[in-house]
Structure 1
Amino acid sequence: MLRVRALIVLFVCLSACSDVTEDSREIVDTIFHNAKVITIDAKASIASVVAVSGENIIAVGGDEILSSYRSDNMQDLGGKVLMPGFIDSHTHINGQPQRYIDLTETTSIEEIKNLVRDKADELGEGEWITGYGWSEDFMAELRRPLRGDLDEAAPGNPVLITRAGGHSAVANSLALRLAEVTPSTPQPESGVIEKDENGELNGVIRERQDIVSRLIPESTNEEVRESLIGELKRQLSLGITSITHATGSIESYPEWELVYAEHRGNLPRAAIQVFWIDPETMAVFGKKSGDGDEHLRVGPIKIFVDGGFTGPAAYTKEPYKDEADFRGKLSIEPGELNRVISELNAAGWQTGIHAIGDAAIELAVDDLALALDEHPRVDHRHYLNHFTVMPSSESMRKMAEYGIAITQQPNFTYTLEGRYVDYLDGDRLEHNNPLRTPMNHGIHVAISSDILPIGPMVGIYAAVTRKGLSGRVFAADEAFSVMEALQGYTLYGAYLSFEEDRKGSIEPGKLADMIVLDQDILSIDPEQILDIEIEQTWLGGALVYARDF
């Protein structure tokens, strides 16, 4: 009997000791395990377990992590990829009114006409109809929609629909009439009103569609706010956990503050790039680049040096292909650009400068270098948006010397192939949207999507394959590896917003902004990258999107 009692006591003691051992593991909110974790750390490490507590990553490694941490929320990923959420360092996220039509997925002019016709029926005669996102490159008819197409769809409504990229739009007859645009209207500064072979308006306006859009009534805050929230949440379904909105303003920033005050935990983190006005107005605004918090902050000042190739208005050193004299157009006078950049740099602002043509790039770089010589700054992180036509080696050397970075859109190589073939030739065409060359010069190269289309997979695919929509390969030596492309869409984007110590990689102490992919992006054939789906998106340790919801 004594022996039995002793055994019972021993069993109880061992059980108690076992419980103590298990309970000694630190309790965390979530543990991701059985995963292929692409950390994007300095060693490009691959892990299998990530522990998260609160908004932050606590530990990263292999199964040994399970000996130190436990959780009631164990996420078995079944070997799928877990990686940092994408950081889209140049995109455009706007709320839209009821009159707006999303044309980004349209593949024919007939489809556009049907959408416009349906919107006219919904709104009633006389109401403005707007839309965005069409591209002739994707049209079955292999042409742009024109005035006559829109007249046929909605003769009783003024219509203005903007091409993907935002550098041109087409209006119907009623919209042109209301704007008092006729065949005899003088060409606007820095823009083109197109005419057909008979001298009649075809409805297309390049770079200066504001001569029509100025008549569109203001939208109500409520409808725009709800649309903005919906579009921001859509970014999470694309795996985007942070954005830089490239068309903000000091007028619209309070609206973003209202949205994020109510929905901050369910929206991607955002930096709002604002347009420069004048020193007095910016002083009244009272904010600078970086002001805000980890959910919403003020980004860089936006400056346009030139237009784009959809205009076409990109400012180049040599004439466009088959154009004896045309080299695009500057959007700002050189002296004014120098003054504005100098003022901004001296005042401590970060700048994000739109520069597409090589002449525009070199002008911006020279003015940034002059400004930094006048007012040196240790960590300014000025950068160029786009960088489409490769500038001189001397200009790239200067960028590296002065720490001028790039946010590049390799997806343009894919979606804008037709425009580049129309307007560029030789090395300018082959090396469009270069990646490897600027990186080899020591320039910090982030990757972003702009709006052609929003979403990282097309950009990653084009960065790795250098293929256009037709399958043509452009300067394969400019390609990135898949890992380099992922770095460009994560850690290097975080660098542009001064947040690389808080996001952009899966490392202890960083925000648990992570995504799960349905395929292993590091091992599949690059041709399959376009088919990758986002399974889950986690923001600050919380699940904010799941494909199976």
Structure 2
Amino acid sequence: MTGGTRRADAILVNGRITTMDPRMPDAQALAIRDDRIFAVGTNSEILDLASADTKRIDLEGKRVTPGINDAHSHPIRSGVAHLRQVACDVNSIAEVKQRIADRVAKVAPGEWVLGFLYDDGKTERPVNRYDLDDVAPENPVFIKHRGGHTAFVNSLALKLAGINDDTPNPVHGEFFREDGKLNGRVAEAGQAPFNALTAYEPTANDYCEGAAFISTMMASKGITSVCDASGGSMAMRGALAALAQGRFHTRLYTHFYVREIEQAIAAGLRSGFGNPWVKVGALKMAVDGSISERTAWLAEPYIGLDDFHGIPTMEEDECYRYARMAHDAGWQLGIHANGELAIDMVLRVFERVQREAPHKDPRFRIEHCTVLTPELIARIKAIGAIPVLFAGYVYFHGPVMPFYGKKRLERMFALRSLIDAGIVAAASSDYTASPPDPAMWFRSSVTRTDYEGHVWGPSQRVSLQEALASATTAGAYASFEETEKGRIAPGMFADLVVWEQDLFATPPEALVNVRPQRTMAGGQWIYEA
């Protein structure tokens, strides 16, 4: 047994516990006092720690793991979007049109109709301006792709934004065309005019309600910790408000985007500031586009898209300036980079910052870090950076994988290569870009198959144990919290998942169907099926 001999508030016995603790990888039972685990061991050892007042929970042989950590997501603003916008996560253009038509029927002519969660890889073709014109001729429509880097607008929206067929593409963005005519798809900085026209700053109550909504959703998937990759101050306020009401049960590590960093530094904030539930994360920047939306900045062009290499979204000098500012102020750096060209640029920034102002343990984060080469992996190892990978993309975004091709897929979402190089790589959903569904992540990482059974990059397959480590211990390490969470061990927060089916006895192709029976955070059940 590991741990002390004090009496327990609660004990969980008769389980198959995967602890992720190398001192005791497997156990039958554990004891909890207050919000932490204080002993792990056999049934008899843990039963000896019970008193007459101890709550006893019989796990009935269920598999238990540490709570899952979604190391890069956008939970709070996604929660707000769920409250206000049209969810377009459907599989046909007809269904998209119907959902927009339903909203149009409820609003006045001229009022903006906003959608989110749309995925052009799931419909028979990308929705276009004419599809949206059919159902909203008198309302401007702006539908965000679930990846966040592109959007789809109708003709009235283009007119209100002052964009026509002759309008040049913006720097770091694009207005897509077919045969010289705007088709309604806009990318990266091309979204800016529509963001300005539809600007709505959610209220404090919106953020609170969004935080509560998303926390409940994530608990149902076994997620007990999440990094909000660009939430900033308002995400923290919303989470803290919901926490005070007893409606927020997810440990939040919140990145601050560049627009807030100078104010945050002036206020004395730095990475790690906060409480056990809500903490300041890294400075967040983004230097290229999206994998699911085919705008990541690649060394070789996309297959079937002429000579298109994607879209860089930030100049290196600007990236360095903000990175050095935050680094000097004690902030962790977390920079979005998908393609090889973007990752190369980010590594140059990290290398320069660390060379000029060395920190003992900066734990630079490369958010997504998707398309790798052996040379890039060697540099990641040398600088000690942490790749935060899309864990479920092979499975969920299979329809867009042909744009990358089988050869390139052997070095994308490269968890196998990173583990073999001795690099800690954390799992993430990037919700809304893909579902916050750890069971899906496991299926994706272990089999490298999509939902139709197509195989993409089989050389990057990992074991279930390795996929679980990426979703638990690695995520904790990425936020400097490896002594607090990510393992079932004495002194750790009592954050855990009881799975309805045994992950380790489930055929790999069926892992996507496994669901939590219960989720615990801080010693309290936050979800029960």
Q: What is the aligned counterpart of 1:107 among 81, 91, 95?
A: 91
Query: For each residue in 1:202-261, what CA deviation from the matched residue of structure 2 results, as whole angstroms up to 9, or x when unmatched?
Result: 211122212212111425513443233212221111111000011213455444433333
2:383 matches 1:402: yes
Query: For each residue in 1:341-382, what CA deviation from the matched residue of structure 2 results, as whole angstroms up to 9, or x when unmatched?
Result: 233222221011101001111221122122112111111111
Q: What is the aligned counterpart of 1:262 among 245, 248, 257?
A: 245
Root-mean-square deviation over aligned CA pairs:
2.1
Q: Distance in 2 between matches of 1:524 and 1:356?
A: 32
Structure-2 change in CA distance of 1:73 and 1:527 (3 Å) = same
- Give SS of 1:136's match: coil
Question: Is the CA contact 1:38–1:45 (under 8 Å) kept in the aligned structure 2?
Answer: yes
Instruction: Kindly state the Cα deviation for residue 279 of structure 1 after the two structures are TM-superposed.
Output: 6.7
Query: For each residue in 1:405-455, what CA deviation from the matched residue of structure 2 results, as whole angstroms up to 9, or x when unmatched?
Result: 111113122223333312x24632332211111222221111111121222
2:30 matches 1:45: no
Q: Distance in 2 between matches of 1:116 and 1:233?
A: 27
Question: Percent identity among equivalent residues?
Answer: 32
Question: Is the CA contact 2:372–2:412 (under 8 Å) kept in the aligned structure 1?
Answer: yes
Q: What is the aligned counterpart of 2:456 among 445, 460, 474?
A: 474
The residue type equivalent to 1:411 in the other structure is G
Q: Distance in 2 between matches of 1:411 and 1:172?
A: 31
Q: Distance in 2 between matches of 1:195 and 1:440?
A: 43
Structure-2 change in CA distance of 1:280 and 1:453 (3 Å) = closer
**Match of 2:421?**
441
**Match of 1:537?**
519
Deviation above 6 Å: which 4+ runs of structure 1?
none
Structure-2 change in CA distance of 1:44 and 1:477 (3 Å) = farther
- Give SS of 1:28's match: coil
**What does 1:14-413 correspond to in 2, within 5 Å?**
26-43=6-23, 45-64=25-44, 65-70=46-51, 71-93=53-75, 94=77, 95-96=79-80, 99-104=84-89, 106-139=90-123, 142-197=124-179, 199-207=180-188, 208-221=190-203, 222-250=205-233, 252-263=235-246, 266-277=248-259, 280-322=262-304, 325-391=307-373, 393-413=374-394
Instruction: Kindly state the Cα deviation for residue 325 of structure 1 after the two structures are TM-superposed.
Output: 4.2
Question: Is the CA contact 1:466–1:474 (under 8 Å) kept in the aligned structure 2?
Answer: yes
The residue type equivalent to 1:544 in the other structure is I
The residue type equivalent to 1:347 in the other structure is A
Query: For each residue in 1:490-524, what CA deviation from the matched residue of structure 2 results, as whole angstroms up to 9, or x when unmatched?
Result: 11100111111111110011100111111110121
Instruction: Kindly state the Cα deviation for residue 474 of structure 1 after the two structures are TM-superposed.
Output: 2.4
Structure-2 change in CA distance of 1:307 and 1:210 (3 Å) = same
Q: Distance in 2 between matches of 1:441 and 1:241?
A: 28
Instruction: Kindly state the Cα deviation for residue 489 of structure 1 after the two structures are TM-superposed.
Output: 0.4
**Match of 1:7?**
none
Q: Distance in 2 between matches of 1:409 and 1:249?
A: 21
- Give SS of 2:227's match: strand
Question: Is the CA contact 2:235–2:254 (under 8 Å) kept in the aligned structure 1?
Answer: no
**Match of 1:12?**
none
Q: Distance in 1 between matches of 2:138 and 2:24?
A: 59
Q: Distance in 2 between matches of 1:516 and 1:482?
A: 16
Q: Distance in 2 between matches of 1:494 and 1:101?
A: 34
- Give SS of 1:528's match: helix
Question: Is the CA contact 1:99–1:129 (under 8 Å) kept in the aligned structure 2?
Answer: no
The residue type equivalent to 1:373 in the other structure is R
The residue type equivalent to 1:434 in the other structure is A
Q: Distance in 2 between matches of 1:420 and 1:346?
A: 40
Q: Distance in 2 between matches of 1:425 and 1:43?
A: 42
Instruction: Kindly state the Cα deviation for residue 303 of structure 1 after the two structures are TM-superposed.
Output: 1.2
Question: Is the CA contact 2:207–2:234 (under 8 Å) kept in the aligned structure 1?
Answer: no
The residue type equivalent to 2:409 in the other structure is L
**Match of 2:474?**
492
Instruction: Kindly state the Cα deviation for residue 69 of structure 1 after the two structures are TM-superposed.
Output: 2.5
The residue type equivalent to 1:385 in the other structure is E
Structure 1 residue runs without a partner (length 5+) = 1-24
Q: Distance in 2 between matches of 1:543 and 1:103?
A: 32
Question: Is the CA contact 2:288–2:311 (under 8 Å) kept in the aligned structure 1?
Answer: yes
